[in-house]
Structure 1
Amino acid sequence: MMNRTDAWSGGSHVAPMVVLRLEGDWGRAAREFLDATRERLFAWHCEGAGGSAVVQAYTAAVDGLIQVLFDASANEAQQKFPVLDQSFALVAQGGYGRGELNPYSDLDLLFLYPYKSEPFIEYVAERILYTLWDARLTVGNALRSVRECLRLASSDFKVKTALLDARYVCGDKTLYDDFSQRMEKEVLNRDVDRFFQNVLAEIASRHHRYGDSVYLLEPQIKEGQGGLRELHAALWLAKVKFKTNRLGELVQKGILTEREHAEVEEARDFLFRVRNALHFLARAHQDQLTFEYQERIAPMLGFVDTPQMKGVEHFMRAYYMAAATLDRFAADMIERCVRQPRSYFSFFRTRARRIRPGVTIAQGLLSISGPEILQADPSNLVRLFLDAQRHEVKLSRATKRILRAHLHLLDDTWRSHPATVDAFFQILKGKNVAETLRDMHQAGVLGAFLPEFGALTCMVLHDVYHIYTVDEHSLRAVQELEWLRAGKYHDSVPLLTHVMRDIDRVDLLLLGMLLHDIGKGRGGGHSERGAAMCDAIAARLHLNPDEAAQVKFLVAQHLNMAHLAQRRDIHDPRLVIDFARRVETLDNLKRLYLLTFADMRAVGPKIWNSWHDMLLSELYLRTAEVFEREAFIEEDYRERAARVRQRVAAASTVPEAIRERFLAGMPDRYFLSTAEETILHHLELYRDYHEGEVVCSVRHYRERAFSEWTVVTADRPGLFSMITGVLLAEGMNILTANIHTSAAGVAVDVFRISHGDNPETVVAPERWERAEANLRQVLAGSLDVEQLVERARPRLRLPRRYTPRVPTQIEVDNQVSEHYTVLDVYTHDRVGLLFTITNTLYHLGLSIHLAKITTNVDQVLDVFYVTDGKGQKILDQEFLDRIRTVLYQRLTEDSAEAPTRAAAVGAGA
């Protein structure tokens, strides 16, 4: 029996001790030792132990285990092979070599021998490895001679980086020390350029593989950009360039400042703490910080909900800030090690060009002579980025480091200094604005100049809809406007491109875009809060009243146009007129239209689509017409409906009696919301309709990515729900539904169906033939629509994937429409959701006249324009409360349902 105890120190506390008793079944003993160790360390972790402390403690425990196994197996081997050469060392490599084992990390062991492998060495290695495998550890291993290690390290990048992190564990220390010296002499200092290029290639490949962003929704905490591997790569470079991979020694050599050292250590400790939590919760090697783990880890690390943000949002903000620190450190180290001139001659080939006192450009990088030019004139913190923008270069990493160390100079006085403000507006008026603002932000200058924007740094919204942090989203939105102005989207959004070219003060539009979300993180109503903050900003930036009003308007109204276009009846004359009055001027409308486009595109890659373009453009054109015609009274629209009737009557070939019955019986809203060509088509369907029958027609609009299904039949209670159920059974994703009923009780229901990512499956004729056949049976009473939906559920279900739950909310709006009560339903998507809602409304005795369906990944925002059984707007408060209660109960009953295949097809629609 062999015993071992260790006191593991970490931080200001001592880690709990576990006794290893190696007797009997070694594998079982090792497993019990590791399980007990993890249990103690988990408790210590929950008490607040630092990430590095827990990592060091677990590494020490594994060291102790391996040393005991080494001694015990060597004793056994000595009895079996007493005369053989017993000289070898057991070396830790990779993460284990760095002393960075998280609770379920893999091990990488090297059994190092002088010349050739002996049975003694092989026996010890086999005994140790089998014991560790029996203890359920994943162990990479190699038995190599010193010569073989040096040869492989010279030619194999992975072997070289593993050995850069090598650490002696037990065995022949002299052998290891000799090997380490030869490694530095024969490998480390040779082919340096090739090694650096290999490191850069590894970084680029890894970033591409794991998402090319620090700010992913579910980041890979080890391999992703800004993850722990970022630090490893930087320290590999440092080991070769500066002969050390220890942060403290880099400070001593003048490579890092004390402040930078502290920032990197703090970031590493935080990521260790997060990775420890991941491993403890998964009880396995787990490096993907999924939504589920985010929600479980946040309270474990002390992040709690506040009135402004959820605990998990505070947690992820801390994560992104730590990851950004490691990403920046790696980029700094790359510039120091790889991109500096290496020789006297290369220096003269890239001689610096002076552009103004203290500012030079060389090798495409702008540098300053020292911090004195910032101290003498703090406006240079902003002016340097204007210099870089005008000369189309980047600031050197060394210059950015100086800037970060002197951000305090940009105080209230210098934020509003004319030189600083003028430089900022010159940037907004120049080229590559978004790129320049991003560089300013990464250096900390943008947040120092605009503290309101700085407060958005790494701010997170915990859902799958908002792909980026708030600051990243805002910068991407500025980029979208620049691309629009440059004509990048001319073919896809010609109207927006034309409007963009009409804007005279693009700098104010870009400023409004940059500031549009500054109210976030301060409680509800971020548009109003942000607008209130604009007054102080405008004063600091010396904006005149008109300029200040433009920016404030954009911040205050930035959600309104998208809200109306996607969730309200934009064919309602009253709504369009009210919107025009709120916007006040055609110029304001143009700016808001552009900002809304950029805001939506910058949310995520699949949010903006041709459907949103059509809705937003139609609202823009209808509102612009109000300004151009000064048509601020509803009577104009009634006259327009009459003119549409007259033109359709003149163009139609349908028999006069049928035509007049149809045109006279349909409401004004139908003629205002339906294209004349479509009305003519509906007239033909109406001609073919006979009482008690159903007439269906589908038309596909590939360029707009939707199909339109029209159903003409006798109106009846629950008709909308029946049609919805039939479409659901076919896996169709409904975008909108317009329900028009003539005075004679004939319904003309028009459904628009998203093509999503699979247009060919949506336009397939057999699907629509099957849908029509099913609808006929449902209307005839020979097929129960609820049974049809139930049979379809298994076919539509997608594999489960955890996403943050969207709390179900039902809101009632009796102000926006003169004739209808509007129900807004917010919930998470699931199989049969739309049918559940419409069926519930039917059983409540409500008639649906318009439905607008928005599915953003897993978030559903469904809108229904409804009336009671008498066709009246619902004003009775008790009935409204009952509608809310019943609908909420029905939606929460099946809240565990998986998302629908149709919703996945139409994500973002």
Structure 2
Amino acid sequence: LLGEDPEILDLRSTTIRQILGNQWRIDAEFRNDPRNHALFVRLLECKGNLSNQLQRMTRYGILGSYLPEFGRIVGQMQHDLFHVYPVDAHTIQVVRNMRRLANQSEAERFPIASHVCKNLPKPELLYIAGLYHDIAKGRGGDHSQLGATDAALFARRHDFNEQEVRLVTWLVEHHLLMSATSQREDIDDPDVIHRFARLMGDQIHLDYLFSLTVADMNATNPTLWNQWKGALMRQLYLATRDALARGLENPVNRLEWIESSRTEALELLAAEGISEARCRAIWGEIGDDFFLKEKASAISRCTRQVWEQGDRNPIIYLENAGVEDATATRVFVYTSGIDNVFSKIAAALDLLNLNVVDARLYAPGEGRTLNLFYALDDHGQAFADNTQRVRQVTRALRDILTQPMETLPKPNRRVSRQLKQLTTGTAAFINNDEHGQTRIMVLTPDRPGLLAHLGRIFLECRLTVHSAKIATLGERVEDSFYVTRADGLPLCDQDLCEQLRTRICAELDQRNREEIAATDALREMPLRA
């Protein structure tokens, strides 16, 4: 009634006492009564404040009694900095976000997600997936699979048809898939998009999963969602939608994509008076990945900078990336004869309190490098509109790139108290992908100077870094690096891979211990009178 009648504002204290005094009546017989099943589905379908009603039911013990699996997560803490709410509060917030996405007020902040959510054929299926996506946390095992089993039992018990049961089950089981793909995979690669589209199967699954993922990410941590992550999600959704519309039997031809991007870039540059011969001289022996991953407009602007700045070394150019809103600042660096460029750029950006979210490195040959770093300021915003900040970054990059590695200043950011308390060990995973590169995935506590340190390890192991995907999840980072040996081949020697993995874990863990010890020593120093 509270959900269906907006004139009923709240419950009287006498009603609350009646609810609390009769909670014992919600037993197995009550839970299996079809009339109560119909009432709960009616609640999910109501137009009122569904999340407020679920919150009331949680507060008075009704929801946990009716759904014992939900009762087990009430008040359950999540001991990390990624989740800031207990599991039950996070779950209710997910449902609240789902309802908000369908409101016009959210259309400006989430234009695509709002449109998609408003047009879902049965939004109550989305709410059920939201209720059950984390319901198995704390039981041990994979909470996605365990939660999917619970969701299927709920849906069948409440008389949803088998197609709807399969959709809800699939959503709960795969609720982490879209965020993981957008942040960890190279979504500029048409092969990645095609694989993801095959997992979706159709537009319905994509729309429901997109809505669930946006609601979930925004209910996890107020600082987790930013323009960059939003742009990645939109890019993955739109590219997958196009792949499904084109048909899974008609994947994008990589060679055609590369040639189309190269041709478009040459046309843009020709319009500015830069000849094809000059462009090809700047690009040199750069690999096809450059034209596969970068937009023709970005390629043309970066190429024009090299042409305009001539013999300057390094050539540095900053601009905001994004279609309508700035999602990150693109830091373009073109060098000749400078060693260890990745580590030096990472160190410079870290010293300026800038957070790298993506990095791509290309080799035109003859000792040259073309580097694209995407960075955000400490507020999670792009910063290329700030002229003073751009000059500061340009000056720092120029100074550090021309210094030897051993003279680089050390990170000056302290480890926060929260990060210090939640320190865990480092894990590294090494495997080869289908494009002839080795993927090194590093899971470790977030620390200043991390990228520069990893860059040093790769340099000393004579590895070439081609790209990096940076994902910060609360107190931990999950960074993926795509590397090859100096001869361009992937790492195939398992013993060498194990030595590299062991070294990464040992050095980062030792570094973390030293930084925490140094922080403790500073705090214990006596204050001067």
TM-score normalised to structure 2 length: 0.89
Match of residue 409 from structure 2: 789
Partners of 2:12 and 2:36 in 1: how far apart? 21
Is the 1:476–1:602 Cα contact (8 Å) retained in structure 2?
yes
Paired with 1:799 and 1:771, the residues of 2 have a C-alpha distance of 24
The separation in 1 between residues aligned to 2:369 and 2:171, in whole angstroms, is 41
Which of 348, 373, 385 is equivalent to 1:726?
348
User: What corresponds to 1:566 in structure 2?
Assistant: 183
Q: Which residue of 1 aligns with 2:264?
A: 647
8 Å CA contact retained: 1:707, 1:763: no
Q: Which of 356, 361, 365 pairs up with 1:739?
A: 361
Counterparts of 1:674 and 1:422, CA distance in 2: 52
The answer to whether residue 17 in structure 2 is matched with residue 401 in structure 1 is yes
Q: SS of 1:864's equivalent?
A: strand
Look up the match of 1:830: 447
Deviates most, 655-664 or 669-678: 655-664
* Superposed counterparts of 1:354-365, under 5 Å: none
Distance 2:172 2:70 in 1: 13
1:658 maps to which residue?
278
Residues 411-422 of structure 1 aligned to structure 2 (within 5 Å): 411-422=27-38
Contact 2:132 2:172 in 1 (8 A): yes
Q: Which amino acid aligns with 2:279?
A: R
SS of corresponding position for 1:740: strand
Q: CA distance change for structure 1 residues 564 and 677 in 2, over 3 Å: closer, same or farther?
A: same
Specify the alignment match of 2:103 in structure 1. 486
> Which of 52, 76, 79 is the matching residue for 1:462?
79
Residues 530 and 555 of structure 1 are in contact (CA less than 8 Å); yes or no, is this contact kept in structure 2?
Answer: yes
On the 8 A contact 1:814/1:821 being kept in 2, the answer is: yes
Aligned to 2:52: 435
Structure 1 residue 521: Cα displacement: 0.7
Residues 817 and 474 of structure 1, relative CA distance in 2, 3 Å threshold: farther
C-alpha distance in 1, partners of 2:242/2:419? 46
Describe the SS at the equivalent of 1:395.
Answer: coil
Q: Does 1:516 align with 2:136?
A: no
Instruction: Report the 3-state secondary structure (helix = DSSP H, G, I; strand = E; otherwise coil) of the residue aligned with 1:528.
Output: helix
The residue aligned with 1:670 is 290
Contact 2:319 2:331 in 1 (8 A): yes
Tell me the CA shift for residue 619 of structure 1.
Answer: 0.8
**In terms of Rg, which structure is larger?**
1
Give the distance between the partners of 1:799 and 1:813, measured in 2 at CA.
Answer: 30
Q: Distance in 2 between matches of 1:832 and 1:627?
A: 41
Question: In structure 1, the residue corresponding to 2:84 is in which secondary structure?
Answer: coil
Query: Where does 1:523-672 land on structure 2 (aligned, <5 Å)?
Result: 523-632=140-249, 636-653=253-270, 654-661=274-281, 665-672=285-292
CA contact (8 A) 2:343 2:455 kept: yes
Question: Match of 2:290, as an amino acid?
Answer: Y
- Judging changes above 3 Å, is the alpha-carbon distance between structure 1 residues 542 and 761 closer, same or farther for their aligned structure 2 residues? closer
Q: Is the 8 A contact 2:117 2:211 kept in 1?
A: yes
Query: Aligned pairs, how many?
Result: 511
Matched position secondary structure for 2:348: helix
Displacement after TM superposition at 1:785 (Å): 3.4
CA distance in structure 2 between the partners assigned to 1:652 and 1:779 by the alignment = 28
Distance in 2 separating the partners of 1:637 and 1:757: 37
Query: Residue 706 of structure 1 aligns to which amino acid in structure 2?
Result: A
Given that 1:610 and 1:705 are in contact with CA atoms closer than 8 Å, whether structure 2 keeps it comes out as yes
User: Are 2:123 and 1:506 equivalent residues in the alignment?
Assistant: yes
Distance 1:543 1:816, change over 3 A: farther
In 2, the alpha carbon distance for the partners of 1:813 and 1:525 equals 22
- Shift of the 733–630 alpha-carbon distance from structure 1 to 2, 3 Å rule, reads same
Deviations 1:757-810 (A, max 9, x none): 286987654554454445445544xx23343232xx34x336655653232332
Query: In the aligned structure 1, how far is the partner of 2:122 from the partner of 2:284?
Result: 49
Shift, 1:488, TM fit: 2.2
- 1:107-155 Cα distance to aligned partner (Å, 9 max, x none): xxxxxxxxxxxxxxxxxxxxxxxxxxxxxxxxxxxxxxxxxxxxxxxxx
What does residue 425 of structure 2 align with? 808
For the 8 Å contact 1:807–1:826, the answer to whether it is kept is no
Q: Does 1:748 align with 2:370?
A: yes
Sort the Cα spacing of 1:669 and 1:776 in 2 relative to 1 into closer, same or farther, 3 A. same
The CA distance in 2 between the partners of 1:651 and 1:617, in whole Å, is 26
Cα distance, 1:859 vs structure 2:
2.4
Post-superposition offset of 1:710: 0.1
8 Å Cα contact 2:218-2:224 kept in structure 1: yes
Secondary structure, counterpart of 1:847 in structure 2: strand
Q: Is the 8 A contact 1:721 1:838 kept in 2?
A: yes
Q: Give percent identity, aligned residues only.
A: 27
Residue 557 of structure 1 deviates from its aligned partner by 0.7
- Does structure 2 conserve the Cα–Cα contact (< 8 Å) formed by 1:820 and 1:872? yes
**Residue 51 of structure 2 contacts residue 92 of structure 2 at CA under 8 Å; is this kept in 1?**
yes
Opposite residue 331 of structure 2, the aligned amino acid is W
1:509-568 CA-to-partner distances (Å, cap 9, x unmatched) read: 111111110121111421122113223222212221111011111101111111111122
Q: Which residue of 672, 683, 687 maps to 2:303?
A: 683
Aligned residue type for 2:22 = H
SS at match of 1:822: strand
- Residue 327 of structure 1 aligns with which residue? none
Counterpart contact for 1:403–1:443, Cα < 8 Å: yes
Gaps of 5+ in 1: 1-383, 900-909
Q: How far has the Cα of 1:390 moved from its partner? A: 6.0
Q: CA deviation at 1:694?
A: 2.0
Cα 1:801–1:458 shift into 2, 3 Å: closer
Partner Cα separation in structure 2 for residue 500 and residue 587 of structure 1: 11
Q: Matched residues in 1 for 2:489 and 2:326: separation? A: 35
Query: What are the within-5 Å matches in structure 2 for residues 39-188 of structure 1?
Result: none
Taking the aligned partners of 1:758 and 1:875, their CA distance within structure 2 comes to 38
The DSSP-based 3-state class of the residue aligned with 1:394 is: coil
Whichever residue aligns with residue 307 of structure 2, its letter is: R
- Check the 8 A contact 1:447/1:453 in 2, yes or no: yes
Give the C-alpha shift of residue 499 in structure 1: 1.2
C-alpha distance in structure 2 between counterparts of 1:448 and 1:545, whole Å: 26
Q: How far did 1:828 drift?
A: 1.8
8 A Cα contact 2:198 2:248, kept in partner? no
Whole-angstrom CA distance in 2 between matches of 1:682 and 1:631: 34
Instruction: Give, in angstroms, the shift of residue 697 of structure 1.
Output: 0.4
**Residues 68-124 of structure 1, C-alpha deviation per residue, up to 9 Å, x if partnerless?**
xxxxxxxxxxxxxxxxxxxxxxxxxxxxxxxxxxxxxxxxxxxxxxxxxxxxxxxxx
Per-residue CA deviations over 1:265-293 (Å, capped at 9, x if unaligned) read xxxxxxxxxxxxxxxxxxxxxxxxxxxxx
CA distance in 2 between counterparts of 1:532 and 1:695 reads: 56
Mapped to 1, the partners of 2:141 and 2:130 lie a distance apart of: 20
1:693 partnered with 2:347: no
Q: Do the aligned residues in 1 keep the contact of 2:336 with 2:369 (CA within 8 Å)?
A: yes
Q: Which amino acid aligns with 2:20?
A: R
Q: 1:746 Cα shift?
A: 3.6
* Amino acid in the other structure paired with 2:169: K
Provide the C-alpha distance between the structure 1 equivalents of 2:315 and 2:497, rounded to a whole number of angstroms.
Answer: 35
1:530 maps to amino acid: G
Matching residue's letter, 1:673: K
CA drift at 1:439: 1.1
Decide which of 458, 465, 469 is 1:852's aligned counterpart.
Answer: 469
Moved more, 655-664 or 580-589: 655-664
Q: Report the alpha carbon displacement of residue 594 of structure 1 after superposing the two structures with TM.
A: 0.9
Q: Contact 1:575 / 1:817 at 8 angstroms: preserved in 2?
A: no
RCO higher in structure (CA 8 A, sep ≥6): 2
State which of 33, 38, 41 in structure 2 corresponds to 1:425.
Answer: 41
Question: C-alpha distance in 2, partners of 1:785/1:771?
Answer: 18
Counterpart-to-counterpart distance in 2, 1:882 and 1:550: 44
